[in-house]
Amino acid sequence: MESMKAKQMAAMMTLMSAAGDAQKATMAAIDAAKADQIERSRKLLKHADAKLKQAHQAQTQMLTYEARDQKVDVTLLMVHSQDHLMSAMTIRRLADEIIDLYQQVHAQK
């Protein structure tokens, strides 16, 4: 049976990896919009959203451990993984606005 520490580590690594992938896809979506590739940009945002969902599920798993009174160690790795998620979520929220602006700019050319 997998130890609680191993389960927590797996959840943190999943969270960090998925959040990083989401951030990368979001930035690629912004770059695509800048290059007037709006359809590609929207597809990349859908990929980013799927990765954010995966990251959020990992975060929820960690919160569930704590809610069940299972000891959750707050480590630098945990803080780092949470930081990745919050950064990815912030960039994703702004991406829609940035992409819409690029679409307007390209439409005026």
Instruction: List binding-site positions.
Output: 83
CB 44 within 8 A of CB 28: yes
CB 81 within 8 A of CB 19: yes
- The residue with tokens 């975060």 is 59
Instruction: List binding-site positions for Mg(2+).
Output: 83
3-state secondary structure of 79: helix
Q: Is the dihedral of CA 76, 49, 44, 90 positive or negative?
A: negative
Among 56, 80, 84, 106, the one annotated catalytic: 80
Q: Which two tokens stand for residue 50?
A: 């799927």
- Is 84 annotated as catalytic? no
Q: How far apart are CA 99 and CA 92, in angstroms?
A: 11
Task: Give catalytic residue positions.
Answer: 80
